[in-house]
């Protein structure tokens, strides 16, 4: 009995069940038939590709059901079609899953989008960052001027802000009283 338990534990951990699979992983198993839904890539990609407007897609499921794996496959598909995709696991560095508010998600999305856009023409990005900073500066604990900062420096300020909010969630509510 103990040998069987040890074997099962080794098998369980060898597959790293809480890490998403890369799009071309040889251990990927297509579970559409038993999940009862269509192909995520086909369904979501069609909604994104065919729409003339921006779209919002909700893809939900139980923890460990393969959402991140499917989204990584979708990301690869869309990139191969020429789309600009920003994918990140928010709970790794940006968001505390036990204490999250909309502002946390928006800041995390902003930071990751900016990281991906670093190689673009910096002036529109710098103008946008300055405007966003004016909206968000009440959340900061120190005075920071973005006037003369480079793109990398401004992105680092957003990273600092998300880190501060993650470690001290009361900063979100500081000026809302």
- Per the prediction, the chain carries an average pLDDT of 77
Confidence of residue 147 (pLDDT cuts 50, 70, 90): low
Instruction: Extract long-range pairs of 168-175: CB within 8 Å, 24+ residues apart.
Output: 169/96, 169/99, 171/139, 171/141, 172/101, 172/103, 172/104, 172/139, 174/138, 174/139, 175/138, 175/139
Residue 177: per-residue pLDDT: 46
Residue 173: per-residue pLDDT: 61
Q: Tell me the pLDDT tens digit for each residue of 58-82.
A: 888 877 778 888 899 999 999 899 8
Confidence of residue 138 (pLDDT cuts 50, 70, 90): low
Residue 5: per-residue pLDDT: 92
Contacts of 122 (CB under 8 A, 6+ apart): 150, 151
Domain ranges of the chain: 2-85, 93-173
């Amino acid at each position: 009995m103990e040998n069987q338990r040890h074997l099962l534990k080794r098998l369980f951990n060898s597959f790293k069940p809480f890490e998403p699979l890369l799009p071309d992983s040889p251990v990927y198993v297509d579970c559409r038939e038993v999940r009862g839904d269509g192909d995520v890539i086909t369904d979501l990609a069609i909604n994104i590709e065919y729409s003339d407007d921006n779209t919002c897609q909700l893809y939900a499921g139980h923890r460990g059901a393969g959402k991140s794996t499917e989204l990584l496959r979708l990301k690869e598909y869309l990139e191969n079609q020429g789309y600009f995709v920003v994918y990140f696991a928010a709970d790794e560095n940006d968001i505390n899953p036990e204490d999250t508010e909309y502002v946390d998600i928006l800041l995390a999305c902003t930071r990751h989008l900016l990281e991906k856009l670093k190689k673009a023409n910096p002036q529109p990005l710098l103008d946008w960052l300055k405007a966003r900073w004016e909206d968000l500066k009440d959340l900061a604990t120190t005075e920071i001027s973005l006037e003369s900062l480079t793109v990398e420096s401004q992105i680092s300020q957003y990273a600092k802000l998300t880190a501060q909010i993650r470690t001290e969630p009361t900063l979100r509510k500081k000026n809302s009283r």
